[in-house]
Amino acid sequence: MADLASMDKIVALCKRRGFIFASSEIYGGIGSTYDYGHYGVLFKQNVKNEWWRAMLSERDDIVALDSAILQHPRTWEASGHLAGFTDPMVDCRTCGQRFRADHLRDLECPRKPSKHPGEGPDCDLTEARDFNLMFETTMGPVKDSGATVYLRPETAQGIFVNFKNVLQFSRKKPPFGIAQIGKSFRNEITPGNFVFRTREFEQMEMEFFVPPGEAPQWYEHWKQARMEWYVELGLRADHLRLREHDADELSHYSSATADVEYLFPIGWSELEGVANRGDFDLKQHAEYSGEKLEYFDPQTKQRYVPHVIEPAAGADRATLAFLVDAYDEENVPGEAGTGDTPSEAQGGEQRTVLKLHPRLAPVKVAVLPLVRKDGQPEIAREIVAALRGRMQTEYDEGGSIGKRYRRQDEIGTPFCVTVDHQTLEDRSVTVRERDSLHQERVAIDELGDVLGARLAAPWRSPKLAVAP
């Protein structure tokens, strides 16, 4: 696909513009963990806000939860993670590297000439053995075996162990859901592809508890709803697909699972999983804890263990998908306003631009005085102060106006407001639109309402108009 951004370009942009960078970089980084800078934080927060909006604000049958990362170790016995949350691993006796045995075709041996592990003349792989992905630590001052606890490998179990609590206070009855966003940790054997697979990441998971007979229809509902969420936020539908798992791919707890897959630069890969978990989790935790985890329906006088439909997404992976989908490089014709006078057109030039849905863009509007004199910075700061409480606003007076537009394009700012000579005469400014480069004059007094309405308007990716 011609328009696909390469992972290298995405990584470079993220570092250049301070979205995401390697963690502990001054010490050489550490095993595929990443830090989010200012724009990265704002951007990922917008992704999470949109998820909360879809789960909470737009429905009244889901409640929120924020459970602890450290949970009673019995949680992981009951869930099956202690015994079965493993990946097959092989070591190479020659280079000393470890590889996921089921990913060898996607991996590279570190020795030259570059080949898949096991295919080089000197490769000497061990037999595959199971490696548990949970991070272990100890709780309290004594490091004996009874003090072993685990960093949660998924947020889901925190929801199941709180089922009874939530049922009591929320006054909900099935079908209802519990949603949570939080960090999860997996000691992945081969993390990689930037924030696609890391050892510390954020999940956005929702467990939807339903009467057993309704599970199939809710499974269909959530597959559809989750696909629509990505499309509504601008991911191109032809870069998204639903892939139903074959029977031999299903997790131990699942009777049906489908992956929402996105066409990442590494190829079609999982963005989110939607699973029918049946009554596995509640039954397991009931057995291990001795608590009844059931619902008593006062109308039918029936007691049952609800079944669970789970849409499980990754906040970092979704952020990466939105970045990839928005990334564009294009030749733009001369833009009005990039010279000293606002109407002067410059010759065409190349720009890198993030065509992000305005709701996801880290900064909504940048306010730019054309020159750093003649009272323009003062008016620009006055505008910033007026807009600030309504939308994420940034002031920038450094460098030529053309360079400042390019900087805002690269962080995906949908609107630039330019203060120029005319502003001093009639208190109007130029509003420049990121995707179309269209410019128009707007009165300062109307600016907040005009921008607010545009940010709230439906949006579709301008890349959709481009033939593949």
Interface residues toward ligand GAP, by CB under 6 A: 154, 156, 186, 188, 197-198, 201, 203, 205, 270-273, 310, 312-314, 316-317
Q: How far is the CB of 197 from ligand GAP (least distance, A)?
A: 4
Q: What is the DSSP letter of 237?
A: G
156 vs 411 by CB, closer to ligand GAP: 156
The residue sitting closest to ligand GAP, measured at its beta carbon, is 314
Both tokens of residue 278? 């049946």
65 vs 271 by CB, closer to ligand GAP: 271
For 266, how many CA atoms within 13 A lie in the half-sphere containing its CB?
Answer: 19
Q: How far is the CB of 55 from ligand GAP (least distance, A)?
A: 15
205 vs 328 by CB, closer to ligand GAP: 205
Question: For residue 380, which of 324, 436, 346, 427 has the smallest C-alpha distance?
Answer: 427
192 vs 448 by CB, closer to ligand GAP: 192
Question: For residue 412, which of 456, 348, 366 has the smallest C-alpha distance?
Answer: 366
Q: How far is the CB of 182 from ligand GAP (least distance, A)?
A: 11
184 vs 423 by CB, closer to ligand GAP: 184
- Asked, as a colleague might, if the bond just before 113 is cis with ω within 30 of 0, I would say yes
DSSP per position, 144-212:
SGGGEEEB-S-SHHHHHTTHHHHHHHH---SSEEEEEEEEEE---SS-BTTTTB-SEEEEEEEEEEE-G
Query: What 3-state class would DSSP assign to 230?
Result: helix
133 vs 437 by CB, closer to ligand GAP: 133
Q: How far is the CB of 2 from ligand GAP (least distance, A)?
A: 26
Question: For residue 174, which of 309, 291, 70, 322 has the smallest C-alpha distance?
Answer: 309
154 vs 409 by CB, closer to ligand GAP: 154
Q: How far is the CB of 78 from ligand GAP (least distance, A)?
A: 14
Q: How far is the CB of 257 from ligand GAP (least distance, A)?
A: 8
262 vs 415 by CB, closer to ligand GAP: 262
Q: What is the DSSP letter of 299?
A: T
Instruction: Give the separation between CA 435 and CA 356, rounded to whole angstroms.
Output: 9
The length of the chain in residues reads: 468
Rg of the chain, C-alpha, whole Å: 26
Instruction: Give the separation between CA 390 and CA 198, rounded to whole angstroms.
Output: 35
Q: How far is the CB of 185 from ligand GAP (least distance, A)?
A: 9
Q: How far is the CB of 199 from ligand GAP (least distance, A)?
A: 7
Instruction: Give the separation between CA 70 and CA 72, rounded to whole angstroms.
Output: 7
**For residue 389, with 0-12 CB atoms within 10 Å meaning exposed, 13-18 middle and 19 or more buried, which class applies?**
exposed
Q: How far is the CB of 68 from ligand GAP (least distance, A)?
A: 16
Q: Strands 302-304 and 295-297, how do they pair?
A: antiparallel
51 vs 415 by CB, closer to ligand GAP: 51
Q: How far is the CB of 157 from ligand GAP (least distance, A)?
A: 8
Tell me how many helices (H) and strands (E) the chain has: 13, 23
197 vs 364 by CB, closer to ligand GAP: 197
Question: For residue 295, which of 215, 159, 175 has the smallest C-alpha distance?
Answer: 175
